[in-house]
Amino acid sequence: MKTESRLEKVLASGALAVTSECGPPRGARPEKIKEKAELLRNCVDAINVTDNQTAMVRMSSWAACIIIKQMDLDPVFQMVTRDRNRLAMQADIIGAYSHGINTMLCISGDHPHFGDHPMAANVYDLDSVQLLQTAVKMREQGVFQGGKDIDNPPKMFVGAAANPFADPFELRVLRLAKKVRAGADFIQTQCIYNPDKFEQWMEGVRGKGLHEKVYILAGITPMKSAGMARYMKNRVPGMDVPDEVVKRMESVPKEKQPEEGIKIAVESIDRLKEVKGVSGFHIMAIEWEEKVSEIVERSGLMPRPEV
């Protein structure tokens, strides 16, 4: 084991891992993060905590991670490179680790353009690949990005994101290869609504043997309504929602659409379980955390392994 991470242990055991996520509140409301996290107890192995997601100010990821850790749950500390330079990011990695947080995810983050502070400077001192390198270097070599020794280096289990659906498609496997080379331990993918294209991507991943070097968690987001399906299709950059999925959501009456969305999620998990190289699932139920346990249960992924 490289780290104390519960997620690492589950993945190493060979079981399909399950992670989910919580968006911290937009205010000093620790009880909100507790409520959300409590809904995920016993049905996931680790809980991602987003970092100013969609470039909107929220409770800081590391602070919300500490709250979750204190509940005896396992947070995944998400870190975007948009908001802080390499000094601040490394400081936060040490700080979080000092509070027992041992799993993190490195991403570049949405551009400030999308959020409520479009006038903010976007930092991008490092990009996601370079942040990955930095966190891995801190753990493996015990040195900062700048080269100086760390007194008791933080040992993070380090993840990265991958979007199999963004353009250019031919680059998507190569970009994953780059993240693997940078030292990624696990990957959480963008939500999958087009399993055919995902499988095509996985074929490329296996072709390069990447599935043997990194754990890949397939992203699943249940849709609450046909409106959400249309929004995801038309408005979210880099999202691939085929027409059939939108039509299927539209084909049932409004009050039954949430159930249809969950059905699609469960069917996707069932199908993707069989795909070689898929090591687990990352269920992002946006403001719908109460449905995660049902999805995990119906997908036959309960109970979660004791490690």
Partner 1 sequence: MITAVRKPMEEIIACVSPYDRILLAGCNECVSVCSVGGRKEVSLLSSALQMHFLKQGKTLEIQEVTLERQCDPEYVEELVNSVDSADAVLSMACGCGVQTVAARFREKPVFPAVNTAFMGASERQGVWSERCQGCGDCVLGITGGICPIARCSKRLMNGPCGGSTKGKCEIDTDIDCAWQLIWDRLKALGLENRIEEIMEAKDWRTSRDGGPRKIVREDLAS
- The answer to whether residue 120 forms part of the interface with partner 1 (CB under 8 A) is no
E-state strands within 170-270? 186-191, 215-220
Minimum Å gap between C-beta 104 and partner 1 is: 17
Which window, 67-75, 130-138, 210-218, 291-299, contacts partner 1 (CB under 8 A)? Answer: 130-138
- The answer to whether residue 124 forms part of the interface with partner 1 (CB under 8 A) is yes
CA angle (284, 75, 192) in 5-degree steps:
20
Judged by beta carbon, residue 64 or residue 217, the one nearer partner 1 is 217
Across the strands, what pairs with 18? 281
Among 2, 34, 99, 178, binds partner 1 (CB under 8 A): 178
Place of tokens 């919300």: 64
- The answer to whether residue 145 forms part of the interface with partner 1 (CB under 8 A) is yes
Judged by beta carbon, residue 72 or residue 243, the one nearer partner 1 is 243
Judged by beta carbon, residue 87 or residue 307, the one nearer partner 1 is 87
User: Residue 183: what are its φ and ψ, rounded to 5°?
Assistant: 110, 15
CB 43 within 8 A of CB 291: no
Residue 179 CB partners (closer than 8 Å, separation 6+): 128, 129, 132, 160, 162, 187, 214
Among 88, 100, 114, 203, binds partner 1 (CB under 8 A): 114
Tell me how far the alpha carbon of residue 86 is from its chain's centroid: 21
Which tokens belong to 158? 């380090």
- Alpha carbons within 13 A on the beta-carbon side of 173: 16
Judged by beta carbon, residue 16 or residue 187, the one nearer partner 1 is 187
- The answer to whether residue 298 forms part of the interface with partner 1 (CB under 8 A) is no
Which tokens belong to 289? 């955390």
- The answer to whether residue 171 forms part of the interface with partner 1 (CB under 8 A) is yes
Query: Which residues between 22 and 81 bind partner 1 (CB under 8 A)?
Result: none
Task: Tell me the C-alpha distance between 241 and 194, whole Å.
Answer: 6
Which window, 70-78, 167-175, 259-267, 292-300, contacts partner 1 (CB under 8 A)? Answer: 167-175
* H helix and E strand count, the chain: 11, 8
Minimum Å gap between C-beta 168 and partner 1 is: 6
Minimum Å gap between C-beta 86 and partner 1 is: 7
Task: Tell me the C-alpha distance between 74 and 76, whole Å.
Answer: 7
Minimum Å gap between C-beta 207 and partner 1 is: 14
Query: What residues line the site for partner 1 (CB under 8 A)?
Result: 82, 86, 108, 110-111, 113-114, 122, 124-130, 133-134, 145, 161-163, 166-168, 171, 174-175, 177-178, 181-182, 190, 237-238
